[in-house]
């Protein structure tokens, strides 16, 4: 009985952490690996498109965070990675990200949401 309660609490805390990440980062990519060292082709393409927008974005490596990898699809109702979140809304995965980038729709979305670079 206690194990089930612990599991439920753990899932809840992971979901809270995910929601906090999404709330705190206006442009957030959940991916496999990192933008500089992606671990799958889809994550590589998605992060390249985002980098092509020329604005800072946050990312979470789901391979380093198996708890997030397990829980995020439940929250997002989206089973695969990468996942791009902008202003708390799921934009989509690799195909959607690339299509939006090629059609010039991703850049203004990211530019509007991205934090301004701090003055040097």
Domains located in the chain, CATH noted:
2-113 (3.40.30.10)
Token representation of residue 21: 């990440």
pTM: 0.89
pLDDT of residue 5: 65
Q: Please, are residues 69 and 62 in contact by the beta-carbon 8 Å criterion?
A: yes
- Which pLDDT score is estimated for 120? 42
Query: What pLDDT does residue 45 have?
Result: 98
CB of 19 closer than 8 Å to CB of 11: no
Query: What span, in angstroms and rounded, lies between the C-alpha atoms of 17 and 19?
Result: 5
The annotation status of 95 as a binding-site residue, yes or no, is: yes
In this prediction, residue 119 carries a pLDDT of 45
**Is residue 40 a known part of a binding site?**
yes
81 is known to lie in a ligand binding site = yes
32 is annotated as contributing to ligand binding: yes
Q: What is the pLDDT of residue 3?
A: 55
Mean pLDDT of successive 10-residue segments in the chain (120 residues)?
Answer: 64 93 97 97 98 96 97 95 98 98 98 70
Backbone angles phi, psi at 85, to 5 degrees: -115, 130
């Amino acid at each position: 009985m206690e194990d089930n309660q612990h599991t439920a609490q753990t899932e809840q805390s992971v979901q809270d952490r995910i929601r906090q990440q999404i709330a705190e980062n206006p442009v957030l990519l959940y991916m496999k690996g990192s933008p500089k060292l992606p671990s799958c082709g889809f994550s590589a393409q998605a992060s390249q498109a985002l980098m092509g927008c020329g604005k800072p974005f946050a990312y979470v490596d789901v391979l380093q965070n198996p708890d997030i990898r397990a829980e995020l699809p439940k929250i997002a109702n989206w089973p695969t990675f990468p996942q791009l979140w902008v202003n708390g809304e799921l934009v989509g995965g690799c195909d959607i990200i690339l299509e939006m980038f090629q059609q010039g729709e991703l850049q203004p979305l990211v530019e509007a949401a991205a934090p301004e670079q701090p003055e040097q």
